[in-house]
Amino acid sequence: MLANILGMYGRRVTVLEAMDTLIDFPRGVGLDDESLRTIQTVGLVDSVLPHTTPQHIMRLVNGSGKVILVNNPQTDEFGWGRKHGFIQPAVDRALFEGLARFDNVQVLFGHRVEEVLETADGVTATALVSGPDGEVREHMFTAQYLVGCEGGKSPTRKRLRTTFDGESPATRWLVVDVNNDPLGTPNVFLGADPKRPYVSIGLPHAVRRWEFMLHDHETEDQVTDPDYVNALLKDHVPDPSQLSFIRRRVFTHHGRVAGTFRRGRQLVAGDAAHLMPVWMGQGWNSGMRDATNLGWKLASVLSGQAGDDLLDTYTSERREHAKAMVDLSLTFGNIIKITNPLLAAGRDAASSVLNLFPSVKSYFSDMKFKPMPRYTQGVLADPGTRTPGRAAARIGGNLIPVRTANSRVSPVGVQFPQPRVNFRHGHDVLLDDAVGNWWSVIVWGNSPKDVLPEASLEKLRALGANLVCILPETQREWAEKSMGEDVLVLGDSTGRMKKWFDDRPTPMVFLRPDRFVAGACLTQDGPATLDAILASMSFNPQPATLR
């Protein structure tokens, strides 16, 4: 994904892959709305969707099979459903094949990086490559930055000399994947059975996954034996011996986060930066969030548009949310894997009572317990104080528009919604497809050119930002005629944007390439807010080449 983002922005990228080919067996099984939004941004959503199951419902059941919790969120504020099942090898291949679009990106399989030398000017990686004659040769690659995406044992993270705090619970699990799903139910069952907790997941392409918690006395050789696996499956299918097995593998959950994601010219992303327990299906998605956050920042630095300090915000923005997801996943896992019958009975009874309260039931069903990313430090400007690099969670001030707003929760540091809009060149399109993949300044009901001074507009041109006006669809044709070709006019045909702006005293929004809000303010505060944002990213005022 990171190579796709950088390729999209015209940056030269070399991907060094130690393996000879892509992994072809299922791994991650959950794809969320934030990841699909990023996939949409790089233009590969049509290639990925055939390998997904939308609205992947999760049901937590007790040892008797009674449903004690349902997770079925209906929201789509980011343009996509909240949860999707997916086949990771197929989606990974779609991302890999998408790189063929870019002459500036090369992928080299069978290149194992063994040594890295960093200087003040760049990074040189030495990779071992086996030739057709079997002889191993060294190939050297020099670049400005190196990003290690090598998983939990990442050599790059070790070169950063950083901590990797967290825990690795001793509990082991057996994962079993089969073709020709013998159950056919398209969703997820988490079996909180004190005798042996299990997971049963229906996936696209007729794949079924089971996971079984192992007892301490069970060895890996024992539990991967076909007869032993069949015995574990006998309560799930009539005849396990007739299943078409893909793999049987033992794994241990880990919950760890690196102390920093960057030092000098080397960075880490994905499992190299954080190991995520499987319970919330956030391992793969957390890696996508890393790429989404880091991609535009690397592109900005490589183009000379921003200073190297911008890359420090990758850690300050991503680390805390990654830790929050790890903590939530560990907590959720502890609820599921209770083996004490009395504690399990207490959990089941408490769930039955809590389900009687609609607000509590909605809290779980709509996935409100999932911490959404909120950046409080990074490429931001506080809407009240215009402080560069910081943003409080609430909007301060005593102006009447602030005091009378439906919400004083700040939109700065969170993702902007993605409704469908109409514009001159398309109807009923997702917002991101209309505004493009770089910076935008969005104003409700007015032209940015009419509310910003020329000095600010010049800075926005140097940034490469699109000027966008959103207003009711009824006014769109009038605005298109009056605002000129250099302002993108979007018609709010669903009313969702009107409500968003109605709830907040921030009619001007500065939208980052990763769809997070860098600044939001009253229009008269626009120049100061823009200056604070530019200061937070060490902006270099030169013509942008990344639109």
Other CB atoms closer than 10 Å to residue 25's CB: what's the count? 13
**What are the two backbone dihedrals, phi and then psi, of residue 489, each rounded to the nearest 5 degrees?**
-100, 125
Q: What is the pLDDT along the chain (547 residues), one digit of tens a residue?
A: 999 999 999 999 999 999 999 998 878 899 999 999 999 999 999 999 999 999 999 888 888 888 888 888 888 999 999 999 999 999 999 999 999 999 999 999 999 999 999 999 999 999 999 888 888 999 999 999 999 999 989 999 999 999 998 877 667 889 999 999 999 889 999 888 889 989 999 999 999 999 999 998 999 999 999 999 999 999 999 999 999 999 999 988 788 999 999 999 999 999 999 988 766 667 899 999 999 999 999 999 999 999 999 999 999 999 998 888 887 777 766 676 777 777 767 766 666 655 655 655 554 455 555 567 899 999 999 998 999 999 999 998 888 988 888 889 999 999 999 999 999 999 999 999 999 999 999 999 999 999 999 999 999 999 999 999 999 999 999 999 999 899 999 999 999 999 999 999 999 999 999 999 999 999 999 999 999 999 999 999 864 454 3
Among 500, 352, 348, 495, CA closest to 416:
500
Residue type, 505: P
Q: List C-alpha distances in Å: 155 to 150, 158, 211, 346.
A: 8, 5, 29, 44
Pairwise CA distance, residues 48 & 32, whole Å = 13
SS3 letters across 247-280: EEEEEECCEEEECCCEECCEEECHHHCEECCHHH
Q: Give yes or no for a contact between 295 and 6, defined as CB atoms under 8 angstroms apart.
A: yes
335: Cβ contacts below 8 Å, ≥ 6 apart:
192, 347
SS3 letters across 193-226: CCCCCEEEEEEHHHEEEEEEECCCCCCHHHHCCH
Pairwise CA distance, residues 490 & 442, whole Å = 10
Beta strands 136-143 and 146-148, pairing class? unpaired
Range 377-536 classified under CATH 3.40.30.10:
yes
Adjacent-strand bridge partners of 199: 190, 211
Coil, helix or strand for 441? strand
| pLDDT for res 368 | 53
Domain regions of the chain by residue span:
2-168+255-365, 377-536
Coil, helix or strand for 537? coil
Q: List C-alpha distances in Å: 474 to 146, 477, 483.
A: 50, 8, 15
- Decide: residue 473, CB within 10 A, 0-12 exposed, 13-18 middle, 19+ buried: middle
Only one residue has tokens 């207490």, namely 346
**What are the two backbone dihedrals, phi and then psi, of residue 5, each rounded to the nearest 5 degrees?**
-65, -45
6: Cβ contacts below 8 Å, ≥ 6 apart:
13, 105, 295, 298, 299, 302
Pairwise CA distance, residues 438 & 128, whole Å = 37
Coil, helix or strand for 296? helix
Q: CATH second-level architecture of 2-168+255-365?
A: 3-Layer(bba) Sandwich (3.50)
What is the signed CA dihedral for 341, 346, 351, 357, rounded to 10 degrees? 170
Pairwise CA distance, residues 34 & 286, whole Å = 10
What is the signed CA dihedral for 450, 453, 454, 460, rounded to 10 degrees? -90
**Helix/strand/coil percent split, the chain, to 5:** 35, 30, 35
Pairwise CA distance, residues 123 & 256, whole Å = 27
**Positive or negative, the Cα torsion across 419, 424, 427, 429?**
negative
Pairwise CA distance, residues 196 & 206, whole Å = 25
Pairwise CA distance, residues 480 & 128, whole Å = 57
Pairwise CA distance, residues 415 & 26, whole Å = 30
Chain centroid to Cα 143, Å, comes to 26
- Decide: residue 307, CB within 10 A, 0-12 exposed, 13-18 middle, 19+ buried: middle
